[in-house]
Copies of this chain bind each other. A is one copy, B any other.
């Protein structure tokens, strides 16, 4: 699909990058951005991420053939309720949120039958915030998860797939439930842990920290408002993840108490090998050349 009028609700790093990337693949695509801060919208206009700006989501969504929600996930339900009456029949609505159950449920409840919703999670971004860090190539090689349900029109899923593919993404599909459970493990839990590792440090300890700690905690520099919404929304899966992490650490402490040098070495080597195998494949995907 090639949207003629693309509405981006929330023009930060992700929304701005979608605007830049869409305009770079099609000169025909007119992008209208919504944000509650006129200043950010002006900046988005200046960097060429959007063509029109609106501080009212209904103005930005009206007449669009593709609407993408790019605000923090906590605002999705309210925005869907607001834009619902003005949506063009046949319009496709999606989002870029890091959780999927709640937005899929809200869309089913709030959107008219005349429009089509599928949840998207483009797994790109960084700990940076704001449209000033937006890049047309942010999505290149990264994975986008679509979460269609039994009620989703397959043609909508197909069109959205094409849209993200044009932006350079690899696509996969799963249920909103599987998404939230799996992404809790590899993204939301690591974020909570990184923040906890920073929060627990004393000043004398932090003075000694080096490059390892810098990398291990980079994600903890992410936007607090964005992550608050994600952690609250996915708290059941995050709780389950914390419990599994604690069990894993408890096993490690038992090994240390037993001075089980051989078992410990095997466990550490296995973790290192598992990460290296995965990282090699991941880096190939992200940097295909």
A-side residues, CB < 8 A to B, are 74, 123-124, 126-127, 142-143, 145, 172, 178, 182-183, 185-187, 189-202, 204-225, 227-228, 231-232, 235, 238-239, 241-242, 244-246, 248-249, 252-253, 256-257, 259, 261, 264-272, 274-276, 278-279, 282-283, 286
Alpha-carbon distance between A57 and B207 when the two chains are bound, in angstroms: 35
Q: Are B210 and A232 in contact (CB under 8 A)?
A: no
Q: How many copies does the complex hold?
A: 2
Alpha-carbon distance between A138 and B182 when the two chains are bound, in angstroms: 38
Given contacts A224-B268, A239-B253, 5 further A-B contacts (CB under 8 A): A182-B208, A185-B202, A195-B252, A221-B272, A228-B268
Q: A248 to nearest B CB, angstroms?
A: 4
Q: A182 to nearest B CB, angstroms?
A: 4
Q: Are A271 and B205 in contact (CB under 8 A)?
A: no
Residues on B with C-beta less than 8 A from A208 are 123, 143, 145, 172, 182-183, 186-187
Name which residue of chain B comes closest to A213, CB basis.
B186
Residues on B with C-beta less than 8 A from A257 are 235
Residues on B with C-beta less than 8 A from A192 are 249, 252
The answer to whether residues A199 and B270 also contact, given A193-B249, A209-B278 and a CB cut-off of 8 A, is yes
Name which residue of chain B comes closest to A179, CB basis.
B208
Residues on B with C-beta less than 8 A from A123 are 208, 210
The answer to whether residues A195 and B271 also contact, given A185-B201, A216-B215 and a CB cut-off of 8 A, is yes
Alpha-carbon distance between A227 and B199 when the two chains are bound, in angstroms: 24
Q: A83 to nearest B CB, angstroms?
A: 23
Q: Are B210 and A190 in contact (CB under 8 A)?
A: no
The answer to whether residues A232 and B259 also contact, given A200-B248, A252-B196 and a CB cut-off of 8 A, is yes
Q: Are A193 and B193 in contact (CB under 8 A)?
A: yes
Q: Are A196 and B248 in contact (CB under 8 A)?
A: yes
Q: A189 to nearest B CB, angstroms?
A: 7
Q: Are B222 and A272 in contact (CB under 8 A)?
A: yes
Q: A184 to nearest B CB, angstroms?
A: 9
Q: A233 to nearest B CB, angstroms?
A: 10
The answer to whether residues A193 and B197 also contact, given A219-B216, A228-B268, A257-B235 and a CB cut-off of 8 A, is yes
24 A-B pairs with C-beta separation under 8 A: A142-B210, A182-B205, A187-B208, A190-B212, A193-B197, A193-B216, A196-B248, A198-B271, A206-B274, A206-B278, A209-B278, A210-B282, A210-B286, A211-B286, A214-B282, A215-B218, A222-B272, A224-B265, A224-B269, A231-B268, A232-B259, A232-B264, A235-B253, A246-B246
